[in-house]
């Protein structure tokens, strides 16, 4: 960008072309999101203000955001928020950025619990609270418990609960997996734990490797370290006929199924995500276990 006079249409085209040349995956979308942030507009409003001229201060501020994105800082961290299940969530470098494919887990969880009068749900490894709060928002009769190991992450989740007016339906625990949930049982336990095999971390996009928290990504040698620990003894926190719903690394499906069966749970099915990869595993506690 030079010091010439810029209007919205021109600066968006130039930035989109530049992002595309640098290999960013969604250049137009990201150019629009960053400009809308600077101009305090919704993205859609940019299209009715194409001829609006930017002030030098606005151009300078936009240039700084563009530089950060070119350094592969995720757009969600630059903006400080990410939409998930049509809800806005605060995100920080302490939290993993919610992924669109995880919305499939919310879809399935809602199907499993929508007919229960007052479902009790636990989200283990809640991150920014995306899963837990999306479920609470769409199940007004539910009570959702969320657990995370990171104090900084849990504080962000609590802030999101407050912003979404869901504090009366949710409670948050700091701790390791199910450890803080003493003397509680649930109709559904769901989890999206770190599941990237350690040796695969280096193959992830630079945005992820450079900026997202390793604690929320590294699943150990085969991606199952956390899942082994979660599944071992999980039945004590499940009501009879309650469900366990997990987002997984698809290649670990067979081994994880063995862990679930060894725990005494009934493996129901693997569920593909919208890209047709077996992203979810659903199991149930037998009535007499």
In the chain the domains, ranked by start, together with CATH numbers, are 8-71 (1.10.8), 92-284 (3.40.50.150)
pLDDT in tens, 39-82: 999 998 998 989 899 999 999 999 999 999 999 999 999 999 99
Token output for 6: 């810029």
pLDDT tops 70 at residue 210: yes
Whether residue 1 has pLDDT greater than 60: no
User: Residue 209: what pLDDT?
Assistant: 82
- Average per-residue pLDDT in the chain? 93
Can you give the pLDDT at residue 253? 94
Model pLDDT, residue 81: 95
Task: Specify the range with the lowest mean pLDDT, choosing from 46-55, 188-197, 205-214.
Answer: 205-214
Give the model confidence (pLDDT) of 118-172 as tens digits.
999 999 999 999 999 999 999 999 999 999 999 999 999 999 999 999 999 999 9
**pLDDT-derived band of residue 199, with 50, 70 and 90 as boundaries?**
confident
Whether the pLDDT of residue 232 is over 90: the answer is: yes
Q: pLDDT confidence of 3, banded at 50, 70, 90?
A: low
């Amino acid at each position: 960008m030079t010091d010439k006079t810029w209007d919205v249409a021109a600066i968006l085209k130039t930035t989109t072309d530049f992002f595309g040349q640098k290999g960013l995956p969604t250049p137009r979308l990201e150019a629009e999101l960053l400009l809308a942030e600077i101009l305090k507009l919704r993205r859609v409003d940019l299209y009715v203000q194409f001829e609006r001229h930017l002030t030098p201060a606005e151009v300078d501020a936009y240039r700084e955001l563009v530089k950060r994105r070119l350094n592969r800082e995720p757009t969600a961290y630059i903006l400080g928020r990410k939409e998930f299940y049509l809800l806005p969530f605060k995100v920080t470098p302490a939290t993993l950025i919610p992924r669109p494919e995880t919305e499939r887990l919310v879809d399935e969880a809602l199907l499993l619990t929508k007919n229960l009068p007052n479902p009790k749900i636990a989200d283990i490894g809640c991150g920014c609270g995306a899963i837990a709060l999306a479920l609470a928002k769409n199940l007004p009769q539910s009570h959702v418990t969320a657990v995370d190991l990171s104090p900084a992450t849990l504080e962000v989740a609590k802030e999101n609960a407050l912003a979404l007016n869901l504090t009366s339906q949710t409670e948050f625990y700091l701790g390791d997996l199910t450890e803080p949930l003493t003397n509680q049982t649930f109709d559904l336990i769901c989890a999206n734990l770190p599941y990237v095999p350690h040796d695969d971390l280096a193959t992830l996009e630079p945005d992820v490797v450079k900026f997202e928290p390793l604690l929320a990504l590294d699943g150990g040698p085969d991606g199952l370290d956390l899942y082994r620990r979660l599944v071992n003894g999980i039945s004590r926190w499940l009501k009879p006929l309650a469900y366990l719903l997990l987002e997984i690394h698809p290649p670990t499906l067979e081994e994880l199924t063995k862990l679930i069966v060894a725990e005494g749970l009934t493996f129901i099915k693997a569920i593909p995500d919208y890209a047709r990869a077996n992203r979810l595993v659903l199991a149930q506690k037998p009535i007499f276990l």
